[in-house]
Structures are given as C-alpha cells and as structure tokens.
C-alpha cells in the first residue's frame, strides 16, 4: 500500500505563475553567476573554446508572483554551439519567448585569447582579453560588445622635463560599442591597441624589449591622448553607431591612477 508521503500527484502546483497582489513590477529577475563553456567562432573560420560567466534576466509584470528559473538554463543549453555577436540576440529572443516576458537580458563575460607575435622576433604567444556581450530585447533590440585591452602609456610631461628617461605604466583601455553588421573581437582589439603608446605582448625577447621600450618613448601619451586618439579611430568606422571608451593608467610614480572617458552616439 502506498503511503501518502510517497504518493506522486498527477499535477504539481505552479507557484511562480500564481497571482501577486502587491502591484509591484520587477525590472530584472533571473539567474546570475552561471559558469558555462562556450565556443566562439573566429575570423579564420575556426572556433575557440572558453568559459563564460553568464547572467540571464527577464522583466516580471506586477500580477505574476515569480519567473521560471529553470527555463533560462534550458534556453542556454539549446544554444551550446559556436557563438559570435550575431548569435547572442537570437538567444535573448528565445529567453523572452520561453518565459513569455516583455523584456529579456543576457550578459556573457569571458576571457578571449588572440595569437600575437612579438614585434621583432615574431615569437608567438597568446594574449588574453576580457570580453563582454550584453543583449537586451524589448520593443527594440540592443547589443553591446565590450573589450578590455592592456597596453602601455608613457608620460609626455615626464619625457619633456627629464634629462633622461620617462616614466611609463600599464594601462587598461576599455571600449564598449554598438554596431551594424559584423564586428570581430580581433578587429576591435586591434583598433584599441593602436591608440596606446605601445602594445603589450605575452612573449618578448631582448630585441622585442628594445623595440617596445623605444616605441613607447617615441609615442608619449597622456590618458587624455589615448581616449581622444581612440575616439577618432572609432569615428572612422561606419559600422559603429555608439561607443563608450575609457582608459585607466596605473601610475608608476603616484599612488593613484589616471582616468579618462568619452561616450558618443554617431
């Protein structure tokens, strides 16, 4: 004889779909901090495997008690394939449809590797960059790609006033863009790196070290110069419709950092 505690009901109550009487809508509700393997398409026709940190949200109307959290993961599992920026919006649409929501949001942050040769010896090495895809779908679709790029800056003032030498520092240049058509991560990284005093590399032999030291010395830039030069380069790309860029220079002779930011709708 089956006990009441082990009996399985024919239909489970959907508590999340029940009514809520507080009349308070929620802008974003969902799952955050998912660690998930993804495959990214690369410009050469290949793919790169990496691990993303994923956040997925929808809006919730005032009359509904809760959302169905498991459905977010169901959608993500259905799209476990090669991904490029154009795929992210499709996933966002599926989230909105599956959860019957007016708004859907998807964020993926991951480390992306680019093969980069040293400037003189061509010694190969992998450079890592932090990349974020952010997609939103409501009455309109919105997609933003962000890259964080390490680089070198050298102080023009220090070079001018010193009898010899000039202080330099590592900087992190961040570029967030909206665009039409296709824009590869590699393309955006290349433009960002070109705005610094010098690029950084994972492998440098002595001839390479001489080159990057002199390259930075020949191209001194304040943090203001970096963002202005980058803005001009982004203005020249007709695919871009909006950008927000900033550089944080980790000062080597001060106990603080220098920072500059520009935002522009084209």
d(CA 224, CA 219): 14
Query: How does pLDDT run across 19-38, given as a tens digit for each residue?
Result: 777 889 999 999 999 999 88
For 172-203, write each residue's pLDDT tens digit.
Answer: 999 999 999 999 999 999 999 999 999 999 99
Tokens of 260: 């500059």
The CATH number, out of the four listed (3.10.270.10, 1.10.3720.10, 3.40.50.2300, 3.40.50.1220), of the domain defined by the range 26-265:
3.10.270.10
Task: Give per-residue burial for 168-203: e unless 16+ CB within 10 Å, then b.
Answer: bbebebbbbbbbeeebebbebbebbbebbbbbbbee
pLDDT tens figures, 110-121:
999 999 999 999
pTM of the model: 0.88
Look at residue 67 in the predicted model and tell me its pLDDT.
Answer: 84
Boundaries of every domain in the chain: 26-265
Nearest to 179 by CA among 243, 261, 135, 241: 241
């Amino acid at each position: 004889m089956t006990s009441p505690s082990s009996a399985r009901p024919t239909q489970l109550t959907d508590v999340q779909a029940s009514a809520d009487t507080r009349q308070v809508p929620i802008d974003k509700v969902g799952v955050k901090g998912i660690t998930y393997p993804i495959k990214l398409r690369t410009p050469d026709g290949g793919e790169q495997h990496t691990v993303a940190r994923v956040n997925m949200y929808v809006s919730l109307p005032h009359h509904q008690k809760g959302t169905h959290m498991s459905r977010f993961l169901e959608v993500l599992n259905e799209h476990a394939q090669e991904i490029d920026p154009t795929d992210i919006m499709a996933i966002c649409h599926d989230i909105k449809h599956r959860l019957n929501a007016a708004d859907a949001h998807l964020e993926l942050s991951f480390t992306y590797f680019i093969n980069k040769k040293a400037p003189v010896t061509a010694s190969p090495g992998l450079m890592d960059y932090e990349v974020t895809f952010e997609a939103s779908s409501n009455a309109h679709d919105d997609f933003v790609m962000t890259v964080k790029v390490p680089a070198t800056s050298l102080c023009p003032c220090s070079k001018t006033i010193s009898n010899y030498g000039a202080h330099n520092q590592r900087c992190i240049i961040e570029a967030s863009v909206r665009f039409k058509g296709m824009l590869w991560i590699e393309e955006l990284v290349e433009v960002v790196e070109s705005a610094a005093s010098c690029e950084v590399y994972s492998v440098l032999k002595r001839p390479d070290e001489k080159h990057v030291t002199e390259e930075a010395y020949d191209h001194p830039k304040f943090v203001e110069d970096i963002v202005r030069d980058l803005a001009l380069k982004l203005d020249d790309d007709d695919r871009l419709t909006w950008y927000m860029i900033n550089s944080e220079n980790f000062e080597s002779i001060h106990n603080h950092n220098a920072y500059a930011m520009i935002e522009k709708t084209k």
